[in-house]
């Protein structure tokens, strides 16, 4: 009998300018990150910083668009 194993991917919303900032620690645990793109969370600086951090940790990135609150 052959057993099929599928890998589960872990995704997280990051780059939201939280204090304290959990992004560096979370990057060690995830496969993909949705980067906050402004609106209600994040800004230009946090987007660049979070994308660089994701690249350093081989984490795939996606966008997390939002509207202003």
pLDDT of 68 > 90? The answer is no
DSSP structure string for 21-54: --HHHHHTT-SEEEEE-BTTB--HHHHHHHHHHH
* Predicted confidence (pLDDT) at residue 7 exceeds the cutoff of 90: no
33, two tokens = 């990150």
pLDDT of residue 4: 80
| Angle at CA of residue 65, ends 68 and 42, nearest 5° | 65
pLDDT for 5 beyond 90 = no
Per the structure block, which two tokens stand in for 54?
A: 């994701």
Q: What is the pLDDT of residues 8-66, one digit of tens each?
A: 899 999 999 888 899 999 999 999 999 999 888 889 999 999 999 999 999 999 998 88
- Number of neighbours of residue 61 by Cβ within 10 angstroms: 17
Q: What is the reported pLDDT for 49?
A: 94
Q: What would the two tokens of residue 35 be?
A: 């980067």
């Amino acid at each position: 009998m052959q057993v099929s194993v599928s890998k589960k991917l872990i995704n997280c919303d990051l780059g939201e300018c939280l204090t304290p900032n959990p992004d560096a620690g979370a990057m060690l645990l995830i496969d993909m990150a949705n980067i906050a793109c402004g609106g209600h969370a994040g800004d230009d600086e946090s987007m660049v910083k979070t994308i660089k951090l994701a690249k350093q940790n081989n984490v795939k990135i996606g966008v997390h668009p939002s509207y202003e609150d």
